[in-house]
Amino acid sequence: MRVPLTLAILAALSAPVSAVEIDGRVDPAEWQGARHVTDFRKVQPLSLDPASLPTEAWILATPEGLAIAFRNQQPASVPRTRQRVQRDFEEQVDRVNLMIDYDGDGRTGYNFTVSSTDGIADAVITNESQFNDDWDGNWRHAVSEDDEYWYVEMLIPWYIAPMREGRDGTRTVKIYLDRVIGSTGERSAWPGASFQRPRFLSDFAPVEMPQYSQSLLAITPYASGLYDNVNHSSDFDGGADLFWKPNGQFQLSATLNPDFGQVESDDLVVNFDATEIFISDKRPFFTENQGIFEFTTPSDYSQLLYTRRVGGPADDGDGAGDITAAVKLNGSIGATKYGVFAADEADEVGRTFGALRVVRDMDKQNLGAMVTHVDRPFLDRDATVMGVDHNWRPSARVSVETRLIGSQIDESGRTTDDTGATMWVNYEMDHGWRQRWLAMHFGNELEINDFGYLQRNSTNYFNWEVLRRFTDLPADSRYSSKDWRGRISGTDNDHGDRLQRQLRISREGNLRNGSYEYAQININTSGVDDLLTRGNGLVDKPSSFNAYFEFTRPRKGDWAWEVEADLFSGGLAGNDKVGYDLRVQPTYFISDAFSVYLGGYYERIPSWLVWQNDNLIGEFNEHMLQLDAGMDWTITSKQELRVKLQAIGLDADLEQAYRVAQNGASIPTDEPVEDFSVSNLGFQIRYRYELAPLSYLYVVYGRGGFDQQPFADGADRALRDSMDLRDDEQLLVKLSYRFEL
């Protein structure tokens, strides 16, 4: 096998490569000399059996970019999904994926997806299997079909991402190709790698190809106008983004007076907890070549560089920070990759952000370091954070991820510092068995949230998880695969107080009709809550449980469904009071390009604890109603119209007020604590026209508001009241155009 493959590679390297026309028709003459891939194996379900429908792919390096073609057999007996999708879609439709690690070090990959209706998605892959679809790249694609097959061609320019220099005129990249059948959810891939395993990027197939390089200078100026219909004022603005790549080893991105007008709407969140809600960032400058700065830990969403901090709420509490300029550069020197990030906000309340990142790849491991610094003059505060990350792959079955973090905060003449560390060990066993161990420590004084995100510090956590995957289910089973998990975990704070011990049992199921199920039950011991009173004492909490179920059915005929249900106890009542919530969201397809949805969510928490002040807390009987409605219309391949409505009505009736004693007991008190209600509204109509790749005209109308009242009159009344909110009402028009020089 090795001799013919080597001869084929040498022949391909010596043969002249002509341009491939990306028209969706796989012409054998154009793809002559390409690597031909036919051994696609099932990875969903993860049986590694031959694919149920034959799939072929071709890989060809050309001076214009990496060219990929797919030939997907799909006879009339297997329904084809005709649904039109918008960019970065998540719908389960017929599609193919190219994933590529340009440096072959398992550090960063790029995913390019094309649906059978020529919809696209792209994402950056880090930490082996973590996908982030906030990034948009400029690449070419086309689709065609006949009665028996459908075809895809892609061309990924060499300037799409930074990459190390090759050797002797060649480079070795790692590639993964897959094909998903929308009607069944079956995924077949070459090689047999799966993001359900601990190792994914590292298992891509090495492919040797000629080394090509492209330079690019792209400037994207923008102009925007905003009319505020509440204050009856208008604002006009302009700026530009710049992207320069002289070669594969260096890239620079810069932005001047960036416009972060709200063309994307964040989901509504009503948060009375002591911890911050994580929100992803879709601003183009912050998503371009951001993979080098990914430094995450196993704690939910935690990372050292959280770009929403830049231009986030100002330090004086008056609006958002005004970004003057930002610059980002990354590249490589040999096997060492680096990244530099800097941003500056205007005025005396503005902050200055900086980050430096270095990573080095070795045979079975890679090592990285990152330093961030934030100067906050309004608060007389300087924050410096340093992290070291190490990923070790001692064998194909075992992977070990280690993170070390330290922070130093200088504020008003006082200096505090502390450390954190995490280790995650994954062991792939035989017959579908796996084991995982996770340990985390975050010190009391560890502070990374000036530039990063950590939901809470003062944590010592350990869990052990055993997993078993079943893929050899009977042919008459509703399921194509099942994945069972059992986990025990313990959490203490850094003072030694026991927060929780938990037993979790879950099952994930993929159905043969393409649907998805997930069920989970948690049994929690008693413990203390050390965050509720915001530093004014620990609150003893009894044992509790929760049981969760989720079901998603992709489009069948004119309908798609999503259902979630939860049954839980908690608060001071423990298992004496049981709450529940239910979310149902059907989507109706008027046509393949036009869908509407109307969903509802209801929640009841009988023992909801809300901090008032000092060590005073209130126990409430909470009811919440949420309405989610909207439409998605893909008018043409260049135009889309979205309407999104979210409305929340929350009603909280006081059951009892408590003072928290030094021993953690909650002592009833007659001190006045009021019932309350909350209404929240977010409504947006967004039209987008693609003038050229990464060049858009946006017309966006948005309206929203938030209101809290010191009385409870029913969640339905609060929901109706939300429709009258009008704290903000704006019309935004934004035009951006990318010039490539």
- pLDDT one-digit tens code per residue, 200-237: 999 999 999 999 989 999 999 999 999 999 999 999 98
Same domain, 32 and 167: yes
Q: What are the Cα distances from residue 394, in Å, to 366, 401, 427, 525, 699?
A: 12, 11, 11, 36, 52
In angstroms, how far apart are the furthest CA atoms of the chain? 87
Q: Cis omega (within 30 of 0) on the bond before 191?
A: yes
How far is the C-alpha of 288 from the C-alpha of 251, rounded, in Å? 10
Tell me the average pLDDT across 652-664: 96
Confidence of residue 322 (pLDDT cuts 50, 70, 90): confident
Alpha carbon distance 312, 22 (integer Å): 42
**Is residue 17 predicted with pLDDT exceeding 60?**
no
Distance CA 484, CA 469 (A): 6
Position with higher pLDDT, 95 vs 249: 95
pLDDT at 9 over 50: no
Do 180 and 46 share a structural domain? yes
What is the rounded distance in angstroms from the CA atom of residue 50 to the CA atom of residue 398? 26
What residues form DSSP beta bridges with 361? 366
Nearest to 307 by CA among 358, 253, 348: 253
Q: How far apart are CA 741 and CA 157, in angstroms?
A: 15
| Integer Cα distance of 25 and 35 in angstroms | 17
Residue the block writes with tokens 């043409």: 636
Tell me the residue length of the chain: 741
* Residue 694 C-alpha from the chain's centroid: 21
181 with 59, same domain: the answer is: yes
Please state the rounded mean pLDDT for residues 326-334.
90
What tens digit of pLDDT does each residue of 673-726 get?
999 999 999 999 999 999 999 999 999 999 999 999 999 899 999 999 999 999
Average pLDDT taken over every residue of the chain:
92
Q: How far apart are the first and last CA of the chain?
A: 45
Helix (H) or strand (E) holding 34: none
- The tally of CA atoms less than 13 A away on the side-chain side of residue 497 is 18
Q: Is the pLDDT of residue 16 over 60?
A: no
Question: Going along 284-397, which residue ranges are E strands?
Answer: 323-333, 336-345, 352-361, 365-376, 381-392
For residue 298 the two structure tokens come to 């196993």
Residues 6+ apart with CB under 8 A from 319: 313
DSSP-assigned letter for residue 50: B
pLDDT at 268: 75
Give the residue from 429, 457, 485 where a domain finishes. 457
Distance CA 43, CA 471 (A): 10
Tokens of 158: 């060499």
Mean pLDDT value of segment 31-54: 95
d(CA 502, CA 508): 19
Answer whether residue 670 is part of any domain.
no
What kind and span of H or E run contains 678?
Answer: strand 676-692
Over range 473-480, report the average pLDDT.
Answer: 93
Given this model, what pLDDT does residue 44 score? 94
Cβ neighbourhood burial of 194 (10 Å; 0-12, 13-18, 19+): buried
**What pLDDT, on the 0 to 100 scale, is given for residue 1?**
36
Average pLDDT in the 236-259 region?
Answer: 88
Q: What is the 3-state secondary structure (H, E, C) of 135-153?
A: CCCCCEEEEEECCCEEEEE
With a pLDDT cut of 90, the percent of the chain lying above it is 80
Q: Measured at the alpha carbon of residue 314, what is the angle toward residues 260 and 684, in degrees to the nearest 5?
A: 40
Q: Are residues 73 and 8 in the same domain?
A: yes
> Is 34 within the bounds of a domain?
yes
C-alpha to C-alpha distances, 437 to 214, 423, 426, nearest whole angstrom: 44, 8, 7
Residue 503 within any structural domain of the chain: no
Residue 5 pLDDT: 41
Read off the tokens for 508: 């994930």
Between the alpha carbon of residue 111 and those of residues 201, 407, 464, the distances in Å are 11, 34, 31
| CATH of residue 95 | 2.60.40.1190
Q: Could you tell me if 204 and 256 lie in one domain? A: no
What are 358's two structure tokens?
A: 């270095």
Does residue 323 lie in a domain region?
Answer: yes
pLDDT tens figures, 164-197: 888 888 999 999 999 999 999 999 999 999 988 8
278 & 199 share domain: no
Q: Which amino acid, residue 265?
A: S
**421 within a domain of the structure (yes/no):** yes
Residue 391 has pLDDT above 60, yes or no: yes
Average pLDDT of the residues in 433-453: 97
Angle at 535 between CA 529 and CA 536, to 5 degrees: 90
pLDDT the model gives residue 4: 44
Q: Point out the domain boundary residue: 403, 433, 457.
A: 457
Same domain, 279 and 379: yes
pLDDT in tens, 712-741: 899 999 999 999 999 999 999 999 999 998
pLDDT for the residue numbered 258: 77
pLDDT in tens, 392-430: 989 888 999 999 999 999 999 999 999 999 999 999 999
Which tokens hold the place of 147?
């009665």
pLDDT of residue 247: 86
- Position 659 scores a pLDDT of 97
* Number of domains composing the chain: 2
Tokens of 528: 């203390």
> Does some domain include residue 703?
no
pTM passes above 0.85: yes
Nearest residue to 60 (alpha-carbon basis) of 98, 114, 109: 98
Query: Is 283 contained in some domain?
Result: yes
Q: Quick: pLDDT tens for 115-167.
A: 999 999 999 998 888 898 888 999 999 999 999 999 999 999 999 988 888 88
Contact criterion met (CB below 8 Å) for 438 and 491? no
User: Could you tell me if residue 649 is inside a domain?
Assistant: no
Rounded mean pLDDT of 272-293?
Answer: 83
Q: Same domain for 199 and 334?
A: no
User: Do residues 640 and 632 make contact, with C-beta atoms less than 8 angstroms apart?
Assistant: yes
| Residue 75 shares a structural domain with residue 174 | yes
Alpha-carbon gap, residue 28 to 350, rounded angstroms: 59
pLDDT number for residue 262: 56
Render pLDDT for 557-598 as a digit per residue (tens, 0 to 9).
Answer: 999 999 999 999 999 999 999 999 999 999 999 999 999 999
Do residues 428 and 361 both lie within one domain? yes
Cα–Cα dist 26/152, whole Å: 8
Domain range holding 73?
Answer: 2-210
User: Does residue 118 contact residue 144 with C-beta atoms inside 8 Å?
Assistant: no
- Tokens 């490589």, located at residue: 332
pLDDT at 261: 54
**Domain stops at, among 457, 480, 500:** 457
Residue 362, pLDDT score:
83
User: What is the pLDDT, as a whole number, of residue 166?
Assistant: 85
pLDDT over 70 at 15, yes or no: no
Whether residues 137 and 280 fall in one domain: no
Q: What is the pLDDT at residue 3?
A: 39
Q: Is the Cβ–Cβ distance between 330 and 359 less than 8 Å?
A: no
Q: Which residue has the higher pLDDT, 531 or 270?
A: 531
- In this structure, the answer to whether residues 44 and 179 fall within a common structural domain is yes
If we measure between CA atoms, which residue out of 696, 700, 699, 685 comes closest to residue 736? 696
Confidence at 18, pLDDT banded by 50, 70, 90 = low
Residues 386, 46: Cα–Cα separation, whole Å: 39
